[in-house]
Amino acid sequence: MTHHLSHQKVVLGSFTWNVDTLLMSTLLAAAIALLLIVGARRLRSDRAPTGLALFVEYIYDWVDGQVAESYRGGRRFMDSMALALFVWIVAMNALDLLPADVPSNLASLAGAHLWHVLPTADINGTFAMAFVVAVFIIVAGVRAKGMGGFLHEWIAAPLGKNPLLWLPNVFLNFVELLSRPVSLALRLFGNMFAGELMFLLIALFTLNAVGPDVGTVVLFVLQVGLGFVWSAFDLLIALLQAYIFMLLPIVYITLAEEHHG
Amino acid sequence: MLQPNATFIAQIIVFLLLLWFIYAFVVPMIAKPVNERYKRIADGLAAADAGRKELEAASARANDILREARERARAIEDQAQRRSLEEIETAKLAAQAEGARIVAASQAEAANEAARAREQLRREFGALVVRGASQLLEREIDARSHAQLIERLTQEIAGD
């Protein structure tokens, strides 16, 4: 079982790379970039979209609506960030629905002994996105208030301007700054890792079966039934977690641009 | 799985690349036609609205013109009717006057005729009387004295 959850690693000097996470996420990023651009190129202003263009416009329109609900201001960057996060995370999460052995068996054909197919169940993947979001939150705050205003809020908000409260303010802001990306990254990682673990546990039911006896048949039926139920549930989780990872950065950046204290 | 390593840095780069691609190409490429389409739809709706308002205004104006024309036609009709009545009245009066004149003229003529007839009758009667008297006297009387006599007789008869 652990071979499904261990990464295929390449060590170059002091750097270790999870090849599976990198390859799957990069392939998916390229695939959705291609999909989006092909759909977008077919959009016209003088007729209704169809097919892929309709799909792309629908997602864009929905994401744009989500951004517009909280963010006041030019939406090009926010739309881009939300679109990138949502579509990419959905695509990566969808890998969880592949039968557990298929990706690793395919990878072993290519010579990889280990293959952890789900990039969002690798904290490197989720923390990378959360880190970028955290940087954007800081940049948005500085851009909206200037460096002086930004630093002022670090010592003067949320508790107040009193010099006695400066230290608690800085502490709270520091916790906030850290907790947001950490919770983002761990929430996605935890949900997807747990979902993957569930699939693997369900797959264990008949792993060591020796023959077609009654117990094996019961376990097989259970495995198929639970596998089906968990697939449906995991699909829900995959979409919901992508939505949360898209929505919270919008809210955080909106808040970062507001004036406090 | 849980060990952080250099994959983190690579994933940041992948995410930033995807974000840059979407920001630089995808979103503008979607937003431009979509916003243009929204604008076209909004413009089309506004134009339809304006057209409908214009149509309403035009039909109101047409109604006004129609009503005005109807009123004017009615006024003209009234005027014509009044004038024709007046003309009939005038003609009637003229005809009455003419009739009265003709009646009066014929009455006068009749009176003249009667007077002339009476005069002639008187003359003839006078002559008859003289002829009768002369036949009775069986003698010729001077024509001059006759005339005087007849005249006198005529006067006398006319005097009755």
| Residue B138, pLDDT score | 67
What was the pLDDT predicted at B11?
94
- Measured between CB atoms, does A53 come within 8 Å of chain B? no
pLDDT of residue A115: 85
Residue B111 lies in a domain: yes
In a domain, B79, yes or no: yes
Strand partners, A16: A11
Q: pLDDT class for A52, splitting at 50, 70, 90?
A: very high
Distance CA A25, CA A165 (A): 44
Q: What is the pLDDT of residue B142?
A: 66
Where are chain A's structural domains?
2-257
Residue B113, in any domain of the structure: yes
To the nearest whole Å, the CA of B9 is away from the closest chain A CA by 7
Element (H, E) at A10: strand A9-12
User: Collapsing DSSP states into helix, strand and coil, what is residue A9?
Assistant: strand
At B22-73, the pLDDT tens digits run: 999 999 999 999 999 999 999 999 999 999 999 999 999 999 999 999 999 9
pLDDT of residue A261 exceeding 70, the answer is: no
Q: Please check whether residue B13 lies inside any domain of the structure.
A: no
Contact list in B for residue A22 (CB cut-off 8 A) is: 7, 10-11, 14
How many residues make up chain B in this entry? 160
- Judge if ipTM > 0.90: yes
Which range of residues forms the domain containing residue B52?
28-159
Report the run of H or E that residue A155 belongs to, with start and end.
Answer: helix A123-156
Q: Confirm whether B2 is domain-assigned.
A: no
Picking from A178, A154, A186, A180, the residue whose alpha carbon sits closest to that of residue A168 is A154
pLDDT attached to residue A259: 81
Give the pLDDT band of residue B139 (cuts 50, 70, 90): low
For residue B50, tell me if it sits in a domain: yes
| Residues A92 and A118: beta-carbon distance below 8 Å | yes
pTM of the model: 0.76
Chain A contact set for B2 (CB, 8 A)? 123
Tally the domains of chain B.
1
| Per-residue pLDDT tens over the stretch A183-231 | 999 999 999 999 999 998 998 888 877 777 888 888 889 999 999 999 9
Lowest mean per-residue pLDDT among B20-29, B96-105, B149-158: B149-158
Does residue A119 belong to the interface with chain B, where contact is any CB pair within 8 Å? yes
Task: Please indicate, yes or no, if residue B15 is contained in any of the structural domains.
Answer: no
Q: Which residue type occupies A57?
A: E
